[in-house]
Amino acid sequence: MKYLITGGAGFIGSNFIHYLFEHYPDCEVTNLDKLTYAGNPENVKKFEKNPQYKFVKGDIADMQLVDQLTSSVDFIVNFAAETHVDRSITGPAEFIQTNVVGMQVLLDAAARHKKRFHHISTDEVFGDLPLGTGGKFTERSAYFPSSPYSASKAAADHLVHAYSRTYGLDATITNCSNNYGPYQNPEKLIPKTITHALLGKKIPVYAQGRNVRDWIHVKDHCKAIDTVLQAGRTGETYLVGGNCEKPNLEVVDMILKMLGKDDSLIELVPDRPGHDLRYAIDSSKIERELAFTRNYDFDKGLIETVEWYKQNQAWWQPLIEKQEPQTTV
């Protein structure tokens, strides 16, 4: 099978390319990535000499390029997105351009060439849930995004559903909770905590660290995407979570203990505007309908992730050196 992976030099997209070649060694992959701050060619460097892999530097909003690449593939899997919430607050325009306009260009091409289309979305489109409650997001939850980032992703979701219904596009969506694992940019909470702790730097944490996230290992997320590509019903959304809710401060504390550090490195910082309190995903639909199961619990996944960052300082050190000052999720 031939895949067009957009945003395949980013965190989740690159992990999915690793997943594809591991599970489908005969597949062909074209990776279209603009290589913004979130795209790192080092994530997919091992495939450079693979004749079944092709990298194309380009923008998903480039209609001519997207049309050309779409015509010869079987699957289009869209990971391409501006994703960092803080950046969307200070500069929303590029989020609209990539996440909304780029999506429209991809969907036009997919519909024109009648390709199977899958879109990677986020639980953030639903807004947030109160702390200390048991409710979870489901596929029927109302959209109520809190940031320019999540609003742009919500718009993209609506476009996918509209193209499926209006044009008969064979399309599906997965909305996922917070991912962690190898190749994640160190501006995010878990890799930021690991790298700052290894360097003896302060670890900024919003709002006393009370905010709760549901965590899923990126390899389990990739498995879920593949499951939906193979067996998902057209026009449907599937929520993918880790059944692992934890306050951010607890996650930071776990990492510090794994690295033999104490909590003196933690620096509590003022909350960001519109910061969501709690995310929680009900994954029962994908588990029930598609028999999806996870391979990682959080303890196992976090230990592996900490070890990966310890062993790959040459990968993340250049990213930290060129980063603008950022806080966490």
Where residue 13 falls (left for φ over 0; alpha for ψ -120 to 50; beta otherwise) is: alpha
Backbone angles phi, psi at 326, to 5 degrees: -135, 155
Contact 87, 76 (CB under 8 A): no
* Rounded Cα gap, residues 47 and 16, in angstroms: 13
Under 8 Å between Cβ of 256 and 246: no
- Catalytic pick from 28, 33, 82, 123? 123
Judge whether 124 counts as a catalytic residue.
yes
The answer for residues whose C-beta is within 8 angstroms of residue 317's C-beta and 6 or more apart is none
- Interatomic CA distance for residues 210 and 250, integer angstroms: 9
Task: Give the whole-angstrom CA distance, residue 166 versus residue 106.
Answer: 15
Q: Which of 59, 124, 187, 276 is catalytic?
A: 124
Q: Is 108 a catalytic residue?
A: no
**296 included as an active-site residue:** no
Between CA 215 and CA 224, with CA 219 as vertex, the angle to 5 degrees is 85
DSSP 173-232: EEEE-EEESTT--TTSHHHHHHHHHHHT--EEEEGGG--EEEEEEHHHHHHHHHHHHHHP
For residues 27 and 1, the answer to whether their CB atoms sit within 8 Å is: yes
Q: Which of 53, 149, 206, 238 is catalytic?
A: 149
Active site residues: 123-124, 149
